[in-house]
Amino acid sequence: MTSASAEPIYLAIANQIQDRILRGDLKAGDRAPSTRQITRQWGVAMATGTKVLAELRSRGVILTRPGVGSVVAGFPPQPPAPSSARARPRSGAGTATRERIVEAAIAIADAEGLAAVSLRRIAVELGVATMTLYRSIAGKDDLLAGMMDTLLGEEAWPATRPPGWRAQLEYLARRQWRTYQSHPWLAQVVSLTRPQLAPNAMRHTEWVLRAIDGHGLGPTTRLYVVLTLFGHVRGAATGLDSEQQAERDTGIDMEEWLRVHDARFGAVIRSGRFPHLAELDNNPGVDVDLTALFEFGLERLLDGFAVLIDRRRRGHT
Closest by alpha carbon to 94, among 60, 136, 56? 136
3-class DSSP state of 192: coil
Confidence of residue 42 (pLDDT cuts 50, 70, 90): confident
**Delimiting residues of CATH 1.10.10.10 domain(s) in the chain:** 9-152
**Delimiting residues of CATH 1.10.357.10 domain(s) in the chain:** 165-252+287-313
pLDDT at 317 over 80: no
Confidence of residue 220 (pLDDT cuts 50, 70, 90): very high
Q: Which residue has the higher pLDDT, 287 or 142?
A: 142
3-class DSSP state of 48: helix
Distance, CA of 31 to CA of 69 (rounded, Å): 7
Question: Can you name the CATH fold of 165-252+287-313?
Answer: Tetracycline Repressor; domain 2 (1.10.357)
Please provide residue 71's backbone torsions phi and psi, each rounded to the nearest 5 degrees: -130, 160
Distance, CA of 225 to CA of 220 (rounded, Å): 9
- Most confident among 192-201, 214-223, 237-246 (mean pLDDT): 214-223
Confidence of residue 14 (pLDDT cuts 50, 70, 90): confident
Distance, CA of 99 to CA of 147 (rounded, Å): 9
At the second CATH level, the architecture of 9-152 is: Orthogonal Bundle (1.10)
Closest by alpha carbon to 255, among 48, 15, 7, 33? 48
